[in-house]
Each structure stands twice: as C-alpha cells, then as structure tokens.
Amino acid sequence: MIAALRGRDLTIAVAESLTGGLLTADLVAVPGASAVVVGGVVAYSTALKHSVLGVDAGLLAAEGPVHPLVAKQMALGVRTALAVDGRAADIGISTTGVAGPGPQNGTPAGTVYLGFAIGDRVESVLLQLDGDRQAIRSAVVSESLVRLAALLADPR
C-alpha cells in the first residue's frame, strides 16, 4: 500500500476507533511510510469523534458511533484535522464499530463501518465479522487495506 501511495504522490490520514491505532501502526511499519502517512487519530471516545474529527454531534446523539455516516464523516474530518502546512491529506480512512466481546448499545460485536474519503469521493463499507475481539480488530485492519487498494484501482 505504501508503495502504491508513494507512486501516486498521495498522502493518507487515519481515524480509528475500535482498532485503537492498529491500522496506523500497520501502515507505518513499512519503510518509507513517512512520505505518505501524515498521522492517525485514535478517537475511541465518541466525544472525540465530534471535537477532533468534526463528526456531527446530532448524528452521534441520534445514531451512536457505529453508523455509516459517522465513518464517512470521520474519514473526511481526519483529512483536515491532520493537515500539514494547510494541506489536507489526499486520503482519509476511518474505522468505527464493535470489537466485542459482546454487543454495544444493541449493536452486535463484529459490526464495523469503514470510511474512505479520496478526493471528492466519500464512501462507507459495512463489515460483519466473526471471532474474538483481537480477531475482529485484525480483520478490520486487513479489510481496510484491501478495500483501500480496490478503491484506488477504481478510476471513478
């Protein structure tokens, strides 16, 4: 992924909730990551999703943090929250969901939304995952990178 981003001269910013920094750690584990990864925000608290990432407070109050629009707004918000010298990141990616072991506010463990903001394109992806807490979190990281690669390959 890092090589693909470098080859296209794209930067990426990451907003994580249930993955708690695992996605950013996976990206920066690759040599040369500093050329494309501007940073990451772990907004584990719902309040931080609003105050740091700009997710609509009304949306969070009405729907909670595990929602497709929350994922989209997190992905958009992290691009500007982590702007470097006034330049927003080219790509924002976000993770929000329930890692378990049990449900959260009626949402089953394994329910996850990924958010992607690439240029003017903003999308969310629903994942329904099985396994224990660690398996779910690891799967979210893997799926995030697979989906990002697919979106970058799509010329839309």
**CATH code: domain of residue 49:** 3.90.950.20
**Where in the sequence is the domain holding 136, given as residue range(s)?**
2-153
Specify the number of domains making up the chain. Answer: 1
What per-residue confidence (pLDDT) applies to 110? 98
What per-residue confidence (pLDDT) applies to 91? 98
In whole angstroms, what is the distance from residue 41 CA to residue 156 CA? 28
In whole angstroms, what is the distance from residue 148 CA to residue 70 CA? 18
Residues 146 and 137 sit within 8 Å (Cβ to Cβ): no
Q: Look up tokens 């929602």; give the residue.
A: 67
In whole angstroms, what is the distance from residue 38 CA to residue 46 CA? 23
What per-residue confidence (pLDDT) applies to 21? 98
What per-residue confidence (pLDDT) applies to 154? 85
User: Averaged in consecutive runs of 10 residues, what is the pLDDT profile of the chain (156 residues)?
Assistant: 93 98 98 97 97 98 98 98 97 98 95 97 98 98 97 84
